[in-house]
Amino acid sequence: MKSKSLNLAALTFAVISAIGIGIAFNALLKNSNLNNSKVISTNNKTETSSYKKKEIKRQKVTDTQSKNQQLTKNKQEELEKMWKTGYDQFFKQEYKQAIATERQVIKEDPNFYKAYTVEGIALAYSGNFNKGMEQINHALKLKPNYGYGMFNKALANELFGNYDEAIKWYKKDLEVEKFVWSYYGIASIYGRKGDINNAIKYLKLAIDINPNIKNVAKTEDDFNNVHKYTEFKKLIFNADN
């Protein structure tokens, strides 16, 4: 009887012990999960904070870049306006003003190749061929395929009687653009030389682009040496003799 009581007591103790161990294990597990959750939460907060800081920094960089790009764009637009002012001054034969304006553009942006071209041709028309050619050549160094630079190099050479060199550069311009005044420039040089065939050839090419070239050629002294030819009269004056 005593043995049965002892067995029952031992069994009861074992059950209670197992329950106690289970409760303790659950408590330990719960506490461990809680601690893990706290660690994960802390890590998540740290990562979120770090991400936000990176995003703020990235946005600041982007904003700065956008602002700088806008400032650069604004500056280029202002320089374009200033260059155009000098360009217009040249065509008004205000050569000194054109030179001063384009030099201001170059001071602001030493790579503004178009300003060198206008300054160069204005210098040439002011009588300074060498300095003018130096500026035009610099424009072509900055932008080798700049058609207007090639045209003005030809024009400056024509102005100073370097006709073969002028024709060479007019033709170089025509390789990159079909510019009516390059055709006309070649025609006018051949007109001075009395070469009716080439004068007519290039005048026709110019007229095909702009029919008003006829009116310009009518009063152009460069064609005095070919006025007598029937081909010229037919082309320009629509006359047979």
Q: What is the CATH number of the domain that holds 201?
A: 1.25.40
User: Given this model, what pLDDT does residue 87 score?
Assistant: 98
Same domain, 137 and 79: yes
Same domain, 126 and 210: no
| Assigned domain for 5 exists | no
| Assigned domain for 51 exists | no
As for how many domains the chain has, the answer is 2
Same domain, 185 and 125: no
| Assigned domain for 11 exists | no
Same domain, 138 and 79: yes
Nearest one of 88, 84, 136 to 113, comparing CA atoms: 136
Single residue among 166, 187, 203 that ends a domain in this structure: 166
Question: Which domain range does residue 149 map to?
Answer: 58-166
Same domain, 114 and 151: yes
Same domain, 63 and 161: yes
Cβ pair 86, 55 in contact under 8 A: no
Q: What is the CATH number of the domain that holds 126?
A: 1.25.40.10
Question: For residue 34, which amino acid is it?
Answer: L
| Assigned domain for 26 exists | no
Same domain, 74 and 142: yes
Q: What is the residue whose two structure tokens read 């106690």? A: 20
Sign (positive or negative) of CA dihedral 209, 215, 220, 223: positive
Same domain, 185 and 223: yes
Local confidence pLDDT in tens for the 241 residues of the chain = 444 454 545 444 444 454 555 554 455 445 555 555 555 666 666 667 777 777 777 776 666 666 667 777 888 999 999 999 999 999 999 999 999 999 999 999 999 999 999 999 999 999 999 999 999 999 999 999 999 999 999 999 999 999 999 999 999 999 999 999 999 999 999 999 999 999 999 999 999 999 999 999 999 999 999 999 999 999 999 865 5
Write b or e for each residue in 106-130: b if 16 or more Cβ atoms lie within 10 A of its Cβ, otherwise e: beeeeebbbbbbbbbbbbbbeebbe
pTM, to two decimals: 0.72
Single residue among 166, 188, 208 that ends a domain in this structure: 166
How far is Cα 119 from Cα 68, in angstroms, rounded to an integer?
29
Same domain, 66 and 162: yes
Same domain, 159 and 65: yes
User: Given this model, what pLDDT does residue 11 score?
Assistant: 46
| Assigned domain for 49 exists | no
Secondary structure letter of residue 223 according to DSSP? G
| Assigned domain for 6 exists | no
Cβ pair 169, 153 in contact under 8 A: yes
Single residue among 108, 132, 166 that ends a domain in this structure: 166
Same domain, 76 and 154: yes
Cβ pair 141, 105 in contact under 8 A: no
| Assigned domain for 187 exists | yes
Cα–Cα–Cα angle for 212, 213, 215, rounded to 5 degrees: 70
| Assigned domain for 138 exists | yes
Same domain, 88 and 141: yes
